[in-house]
Structure 1
Amino acid sequence: MEMSDLTTRLMPFMASDLGVEQETLVGIFQGKRQSVAFHYYPPCPHPDKVIGITPHHDGLGLTLLLHVDETPGLQVRRNGTWYPVNPLPGALVINVGDILQILTNGMYKSAVHRVVADTKKGRATVVMFQHACVAGLVKPLPELGEAAYKAIEKVEYIKGNFRALAEGTWFVDSLKINQKT
């Protein structure tokens, strides 16, 4: 409930930034599913030989991640370079997911990230995924102008996203209409 409430409180800020009605963005998340994952990465004496989680985008609407401890490991890629996201006690890391990228017509982008193992300490996280869609469709908000992504039913989107993850590709890219996005 608290994570849904936090998402609802974040949306007016994003809506203002996008120039859309607050209710539009809030409604995309209200009453939708949530899922949670608990991750534990044990210490690894050879972190160069393993990866905690391979590079990926989050496929859903919004991801809220809580570092349970202070062990580093989360990294974000920008311009081909991996940057650490150092845990701050009590702080949440909030990732835009691919669905939110599509809904915002590419104005907000999902980040490529991964997790690497630590040699001495284990790492624990709690991840809450906030689902989103408009009337069962994943599509750009019409208020944001000409669509840069094809509309797709959410069920088909989820299937395509899982297929792409298994293949090591980004499903969101296959939905682009205008390759400049």
Structure 2
Amino acid sequence: MEMSDLTSRLMLFMASDLGVEQETLVGTFQGKKQSVAFHYYPPCRHPEKVIGITPHHDGLALTLLLHVDDTPSLQVRKNGTWYPVKPLPGALVINVGDILQILTNGTYKSVEHRVLPDVEKGRATVVMFQHACVAGMVKPLPELGEAAYRAIEKVEYIKGNFRALAEGTWFVDSLKINHGT
């Protein structure tokens, strides 16, 4: 319930930033699924020999991540460089996922990230994934003007996203519409 409430509050701020009715964006999350994952990565004496979690974007709408410990294994990529995310006690890391990128017509971008194993310490996280869609479709909010992404049924989006993850590609990129620019 608390994560749903936090998500709603975040969507209120984003809606204001986007210039759309608050209920328009909040409504894309209300009544949708949430899923939770508990991750534990044990210490690894030879981190160069393992992957951890490969670079990826979160395919769903919003990810709320709580570091249970202070092991700095999460990294985000910006302009081709990987940056560590320092865990702060009690703080949540919030990732925009691909569906939210599509809903906001690309105004908010999903972040590429990875997890590297640590030589000395394990890492534990609790992750809450927030789902969203508009009437069963993954598509930009109509209020945001000309769509930068094509609409797709959510079930087909999920299938396509899993295929792309297995191939090491970004499914969201295949949904971009080329308007001749």
Query: Which consecutive residues of structure 1, in runs of 5 or more, have no partner in the other structure?
Result: none
Counterparts of 1:19-58 in structure 2, within 5 Å, are: 19-58=19-58
Counterparts of 1:103-118 in structure 2, within 5 Å, are: 103-118=103-118
**Distance in 2 (alpha carbons) for counterparts of 1:67 and 1:97:** 18
Q: With structure 2 as the length reference, what TM-score do the two structures score?
A: 0.98
Give the match for residue 121 of structure 1: 121
Q: With structure 1 as the length reference, what TM-score do the two structures score?
A: 0.98
**Mean alpha-carbon deviation: is it higher for 60-69 or for 43-52?**
43-52
Runs of 4 or more consecutive aligned structure 1 residues displaced over 3 Å after TM superposition: none
Q: Does 1:145 align with 2:168?
A: no
3-state SS in 1 of match to 2:95: strand
Give the match for residue 71 of structure 1: 71
Number of aligned residue pairs: 181
CA deviation profile, 1:111-155 (whole Å, cap 9, x unmatched) = 000000110000000000000000000000111110000000000
Letter of the structure 1 residue corresponding to residue 93 of structure 2: V
Q: What is the deviation of 1:178? A: 2.7
CA deviation profile, 1:55-89 (whole Å, cap 9, x unmatched) = 00000010000000111100000111000001000
Instruction: Tell me the C-alpha RMSD between the 2 structures.
Output: 1.3
Query: Which consecutive residues of structure 2, in runs of 5 or more, have no partner in the other structure?
Result: none
**Distance in 2 (alpha carbons) for counterparts of 1:110 and 1:50:** 25
**Distance in 2 (alpha carbons) for counterparts of 1:30 and 1:86:** 31
**Distance in 2 (alpha carbons) for counterparts of 1:137 and 1:125:** 30
